[in-house]
DNA sequence: CTGTTAGCGCGTTCAC
DNA sequence: GTGAACGCGCTAACAG
């Protein structure tokens, strides 16, 4: 495995010159360039990027913290990040942390240790203060609404989208509205619960605790939601399901019990996943792809220019009407 | 950002000693160890891993080539890889290549350039010979049945599973059997087509070209399958759908046309995804999780001991009976 | 047990 | 246009 020195010798030039052609620098005579290229070819030279990274202090790699890859929500987010990373010739270090704080720390340590140039946090269990401790080592971008001095973030307004969806159901005559959550006390969940409470108070509607079910995230959970609904004495006539997979799972399960959608229960999903299209589920398009794209761009621009201050960017959601309400 | 030299000075020892405590080597007196640890703490020292990688010639990172992350099939495969990587404290560089040869090459070049220690190829468009050219730079594991001298592979038997599924349908009275494929001419698809032809010849059944539809991979495609079926004069009474998402999409679409499953069309899916459980779809469990696990382990063991020869490992599929046949 | 020193492979001033 | 030489930060002989 040849190194730059051997190429230099083989081409009859100095290592500097080799380095210059390697990095497409100007001021190299055509003849020497040719000689170097020929030597590279002949000796099957491949640069050792670890040396480059050491010298440059950068790795052209961004780390991504997410609890689970195998979840439609995160897959879509990654898709957005990955597409943008490709454009800028960056690599992605995907770190599935399962919401384990130790694992999340490990990823932040990759940043400290200069293995990655920046971090995108799709979802976390660490406190913001803990995350902020690492802000000095490189840009950190969160996919949620945080306004912490040293952290950037991109998100869509969970609060407004939830209000909006409930209002939508209310306007269509629904007075008993229930909803699910993933993690009961995540930032996003708290915002949603607040929105639920606020809008129903404003509308003079009822907001019952028993109409909330948490711990729902995948398609299987749709069945749990159905069971939960069936067990209730006073059932909601409409449900906000935080994830189209859950919505689809619920739809299938509840139909088995003879319920019609939307006649017996109306549902609104989230994420605008392909599955919602197939089932005609009305859903909130929360721009996951765009959030991923922006998350990368924010990190990238701050890697290029570390002087740039953190930013917070809000994306507009939209409600996609289909036939489940 | 302190370096090892400064820590040495601060602790009043040599860099070697610092390195020793950093790497948990024996033969360091308790007092010096304490001093070093204290200095590390006090100066907020963090190792620059690029220097370590340069010196060691390894990066504790494995690259994964896959066309798409946002696909249930690959997500599940990644899940298996990631879980195992975590155990061995390895990082994953996920490279979404979209079946673009240039992108696949770029990943193999990461291996040449020593940015990663090994590569797992979930699916590819490069020829095996092209891939094999890189075998000298580190272990390469494919998730398909290849028996190339320098490449390892893990897979389940597509041929046998397809035969098996068709036999299963045949035994239940189906004589007109259709199927879908993802990429028409991928290795796996070729094996499946062969299995289809072989088993039907053996059974004395009919194998029609028009009963094959390719280019299907996601849930939306289920609708295409339904349209395709409806357009036919002589329709298959049973379908093998190469992906549970497709199967689910098809099921929904065909029911809209008043077809019953399995009465009017029987279906068998692939992958044993959660969605198949929800819909009660009979499916082939192709052990994606285990394939991922093994792929990592094969790569890992060969990184530890480069002298180990490539291996080919076959995993047993199983048919999971539910209610779609 | 501990320190000196020579690399690992490459980018980059700076002088020519 | 070109090259000598230093430095990036760390590991590992080797000598003691």
Give me the helices (H) in A261-319, please. Answer: 274-279, 288-304
B29 sits within 7 Å of strand D by its CB = no
Judging by beta carbons within 10 Å of its beta carbon (0-12, 13-18, 19+), is residue B132 exposed, middle or buried?
Answer: middle
Q: In the prediction, which pLDDT does A27 show?
A: 84
Q: Helix count (H) and strand count (E) of chain A? A: 13, 12
Nearest-angstrom CA–CA distance, B4 and B8: 6
pLDDT digits (tens, 9 = 90+) for A174-190: 999 999 999 999 888 99
pLDDT, averaged across chain A: 95
Nearest-angstrom CA–CA distance, A97 and B18: 30
Residue nearest to nucleotide D13 (CA to C1'): B16
Gyration radius of chain B's alpha carbons: 26
Q: In the prediction, which pLDDT does A1 show?
A: 78
Q: In chain A, what residues touch B103 (CB-CB under 8 Å)?
A: 86
Nearest 5°: phi and psi at B156? Answer: -115, 160
As a three-state string, the secondary structure of B113-181 is CCCCCEEEECCCCCCHHHHHCCHHHCCEEECCCCCCCCCEEEEECHHHHHHHHHHHHHHCCCCCEEEEC
Q: In the prediction, which pLDDT does B148 show?
A: 84
* C-alpha distance from residue B56 to each of A48, B110, B114, B115, B117 (Å): 12, 16, 10, 12, 11
Q: Which band of pLDDT confidence, cut at 50, 70 and 90, is reported for residue B26? A: confident
pTM of the model as a whole: 0.94
Q: In the prediction, which pLDDT does B100 show?
A: 97
**Would B4-47 and B158-285 be classified into the same CATH topology?**
no
pLDDT at A148 over 90: no
pLDDT at B296 over 80: yes
Q: How many CB atoms lie within 10 A of CB B287?
A: 21
- Taking CB atoms and an 8 Å cut-off, how many pairs form between chains A and B? 128
Q: In chain A, what residues touch B69 (CB-CB under 8 Å)?
A: 69, 75, 78-79, 82
pLDDT, averaged across chain B: 95
B48 sits within 7 Å of strand C by its CB = no
* C-alpha distance from residue B20 to each of A84, A114, B48, B102, B134 (Å): 41, 21, 15, 42, 35
Nearest to B222 among A75, A93, A278 (CB): A278
Q: Give how far B249 is from chain A: nearest CA, Å.
A: 7
Q: Give how far A275 is from chain B: nearest CA, Å.
A: 7
Q: In the prediction, which pLDDT does B187 show?
A: 87
Q: In chain A, what residues touch B70 (CB-CB under 8 Å)?
A: 72, 75-76, 78-79
Among the residue ranges B21-25, B94-98, B237-241, B292-296, the one predicted with the least confidence is: B21-25
Taking an 8 Å cut-off on Cβ atoms, the answer to whether A278 and B252 are in contact is yes
Cis amide linkage into residue B262, ω under 30° from 0:
yes
Q: In the prediction, which pLDDT does A149 show?
A: 87
Q: In the prediction, which pLDDT does A230 show?
A: 96
Pairing of strands B152-156, B140-142: parallel
pLDDT at B77 over 90: yes
A31 sits within 7 Å of strand D by its CB = yes
Percentage of chain A beyond pLDDT 90 is 94
Nearest 5°: phi and psi at A300? Answer: -60, -50
pLDDT digits (tens, 9 = 90+) for A16-31: 999 999 998 888 889 9
Q: What is the DSSP letter of A144?
A: S
pLDDT digits (tens, 9 = 90+) for A8-61: 999 999 999 999 999 988 888 899 999 999 999 999 999 999 999 999 999 999
Query: Per the structure block, which two tokens stand in for A78?
Result: 């990654």
Cβ–Cβ < 8 Å for A318, A284: yes
Domain ranges of chain A: 4-47, 59-156+288-315, 158-285
Q: In the prediction, which pLDDT does A140 show?
A: 98
Span A117-144, average pLDDT: 97
Q: In chain B, what residues touch A92 (CB-CB under 8 Å)?
A: 93-95
The nucleotide whose C1' lies nearest the CA of A15 is D3
Q: Return the CATH superfamily for domain B59-156+288-315.
A: Response regulator (3.40.50.2300)
Gyration radius of chain A's alpha carbons: 26
Q: Give how far A110 is from chain B: nearest CA, Å.
A: 8
Q: In the prediction, which pLDDT does B28 show?
A: 87
Span A72-92, average pLDDT: 96
Window B293-322, strand C contacts by Cβ < 7 Å? none
Q: Which residues pair with B238 in a beta bridge?
A: B177, B266
Taking an 8 Å cut-off on Cβ atoms, the answer to whether B114 and A50 are in contact is yes
The nucleotide whose C1' lies nearest the CA of B15 is C3
- The set of strand D positions with any atom below 7 Å of a protein CB reads 1-5, 7-13
pLDDT digits (tens, 9 = 90+) for B200-222: 999 999 999 999 999 999 999 99
Could you please state the CATH topology (level 3) that the domain comprising A4-47 is classified under: 434 Repressor (Amino-terminal Domain) (1.10.260)
Choose which CATH entry (3.40.50.2300, 3.30.540.10, 3.40.980.10, 2.40.30.10) describes domain B158-285: 3.40.50.2300
In b/e form, how buried is each residue of B255-284, taking b as 16+ CB within 10 angstroms? eeeebebbeebbbbbbbbbbbbbbbebbbb
Taking an 8 Å cut-off on Cβ atoms, the answer to whether A69 and B69 are in contact is yes
Taking an 8 Å cut-off on Cβ atoms, the answer to whether A54 and B50 are in contact is yes
Between CA A129 and C1' D13 the distance (Å) reads: 44
pLDDT at A324 over 90: yes
Q: How many CB atoms lie within 10 A of CB B186?
A: 18
Taking an 8 Å cut-off on Cβ atoms, the answer to whether B69 and A59 are in contact is no
pLDDT at B1 over 80: no
Task: List the one residue out of A97, A260, A265 whose CA is nearest residue A178.
Answer: A265
Nearest-angstrom CA–CA distance, A247 and B54: 50
Nearest-angstrom CA–CA distance, B100 and B83: 27
Span B7-35, average pLDDT: 91
Q: In the prediction, which pLDDT does B149 show?
A: 87
pLDDT at A197 over 80: yes
Nearest-angstrom CA–CA distance, B16 and B63: 32
Type and span of the H or E element at B240: strand B238-240
Nearest-angstrom CA–CA distance, A284 and A320: 6
């Amino acid at each position: 495995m040849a190194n730059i020195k051997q190429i230099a010798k083989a081409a009859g030039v100095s290592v500097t010159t080799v380095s210059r052609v390697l990095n497409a620098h100007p001021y190299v005579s055509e003849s020497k360039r040719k000689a170097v290229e020929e030597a590279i070819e002949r000796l099957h030279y491949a640069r050792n990027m670890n040396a480059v990274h050491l010298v440059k202090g950068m790795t052209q790699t961004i780390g991504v913290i997410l609890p689970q890859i195998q979840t439609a929500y995160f897959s879509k987010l990654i898709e957005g990040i990955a597409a943008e990373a490709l454009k800028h010739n960056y690599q992605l270090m995907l770190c599935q942390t399962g919401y384990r704080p130790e694992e999340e720390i490990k990823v932040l340590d990759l940043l400290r240790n200069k293995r990655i140039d920046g971090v995108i946090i799709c979802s976390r269990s660490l406190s913001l203060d803990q995350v902020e401790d690492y802000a000095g080592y490189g840009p950190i971008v969160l996919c949620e609404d945080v306004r912490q001095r040293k952290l950037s973030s991109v998100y869509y307004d969970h609060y407004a989208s939830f209000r909006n969806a409930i209002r939508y159901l209310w306007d269509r005559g629904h007075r008993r509205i229930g909803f699910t959550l993933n993690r009961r006390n995540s930032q996003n969940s708290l915002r949603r619960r607040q929105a639920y409470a606020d809008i129903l108070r404003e509308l003079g509607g009822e907001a019952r605790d028993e109409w909330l079910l948490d711990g729902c995230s995948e398609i299987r959970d749709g069945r749990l939601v159905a069971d939960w609904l069936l067990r209730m004495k006073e059932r909601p006539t409409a449900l906000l399901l935080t994830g189209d997979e859950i919505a689809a799972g619920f739809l299938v399960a509840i139909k088995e019990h003879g319920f019609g959608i939307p006649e017996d229960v109306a549902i609104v999903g989230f994420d605008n996943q392909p599955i919602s299209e197939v089932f005609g589920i009305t859903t909130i398009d929360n721009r996951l792809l765009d959030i991923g794209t922006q998350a990368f761009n924010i990190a990238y621009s701050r890697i290029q220019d570390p002087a740039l201050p953190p930013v917070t960017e809000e994306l507009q959601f939209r409600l996609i009407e289909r036939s489940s309400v």
